[in-house]
Amino acid sequence: MTELLITIISTGFFATVIRTTTPLLLATLGGLIADLSGALNVALEGMMLIGCLTAVIVSVYAPWYVAVLSGVGAGALLGLLMAFFAYRLKADIILVGFAINILAAGGTVFALALATGGDKGTSINLQSQAIPPVDLTFLSGIPIIGPTLSAMLTGQSVVTWIAAFLVFAIWYFLYRTPWGLWLRGVGEYPAAPEAAGIPVTKVRTWSLVVSGALAGLGGAQLAMFNYVGFTRDMTGGRGFIALGAVLLGARHPVGATIAALLFGAFDAFAIVLPGLYNWMPSELIRMIPFIVTIVALISFSVRAQRALALRGVQ
């Protein structure tokens, strides 16, 4: 037990948490934007996965930032596709989401096999690149906390810092700009913004595009930093866990960040536990995030029911 505690409060563990949280946080923010616009984006998983593969393949031929942007673009395109079918052709958005997931699960393997010349499991034969870490060793110059800060924050991906900025940017957008008001209005009661002349379908479409872009960025981080290279189904349910994190975070960017950090911490656990307790089966450890999501979902639902009762929304 003591080893566990020592590990958890170590700076190394914090650094791991930040690393495991980043892709999940980006997907969660994507889920949040879609959710507030009135759409449950069940396609985050597929968008992330396609973001992973796009980034990996592009990074073989282009600089890392182009690869990351391609991942973002792929996610955004999928968001546009989803919006087109859900809003223009009036398909059920849940079914559209699952169609995208099925497309991603099969399509990535298909594309990978083509790109590698028949390899269906991993991109190990591709010379893909990583996102460069940010060096913050100068922080150790700060007295007392400096070395700790430096150990925790140095070596994190550029995308991690972008994600941290995005939490603030999305909060500002949602609660401080007119367009955030539009988006939240569209999600809560679309008839009102429509009567006010706000282009409801456009707002919803943009929300899904941004949602997809964020998931794609999460995918790029996953495949170009957390792991370098693509493996089939490498997202491993992160897109679905993100849906749980949106709800657990009370549909607010700060709450979503805290929820994503919680899941990131359990992910990090799964990384450090086998080293500490080798008797513990790895399958059990891999189950942890999913079990936590269910527990979180239930506790959120109970809380939400009570809060709703207090707020007076039936």
Binding to another protein in span 106-135, by CB under 8 A: 106-107, 109-110, 113-114, 118, 120
Selected binder of another protein within 7, 8, 11, 98 (CB under 8 A): 98
**Nearest distance from C-beta of residue 55 to another protein, angstroms:** 19
Cβ atoms of 27 and 266 closer than 8 Å: no
State yes or no: residue 86 binds another protein (CB under 8 A). Answer: yes
Chain positions 256 to 285 lying near another protein, rule: CB under 8 A, are 281, 283-284
H helix intervals, the chain:
2-8, 11-36, 44-61, 64-83, 93-116, 146-153, 158-176, 178-188, 191-195, 200-221, 238-248, 253-276, 282-311
Selected binder of another protein within 9, 90, 144, 278 (CB under 8 A): 90
**Nearest distance from C-beta of residue 49 to another protein, angstroms:** 11
Which residue, 198 or 260, has its beta carbon nearer to another protein? 198
Selected binder of another protein within 26, 42, 49, 76 (CB under 8 A): 42
State yes or no: residue 91 binds another protein (CB under 8 A). Answer: yes
Q: Which residue, 97, 89, 53, 85, is CA-closest to 71? A: 53
State yes or no: residue 171 binds another protein (CB under 8 A). Answer: no
Chain positions 135 to 164 lying near another protein, rule: CB under 8 A, are none
Which residue, 1 or 195, has its beta carbon nearer to another protein? 195
> Under rule CB under 8 A, how many of the chain's residues touch another protein?
86
Which two three-digit tokens encode residue 45?
């998983």
Which secondary structure element, helix H or strand E, spans residue 157, and what is its range? strand 156-157
State the helix-helix crossing angle for 44-61 and 238-248, rounded to 10 degrees: 130
Cβ atoms of 78 and 96 closer than 8 Å: no
**Nearest distance from C-beta of residue 72 to another protein, angstroms:** 21
Chain positions 210 to 239 lying near another protein, rule: CB under 8 A, are 236-237
Residues 252-255: contacts with CB under 8 Å, at least 24 apart = 252/32, 253/29, 253/32, 253/167, 253/170, 253/171, 253/174, 254/167, 254/171
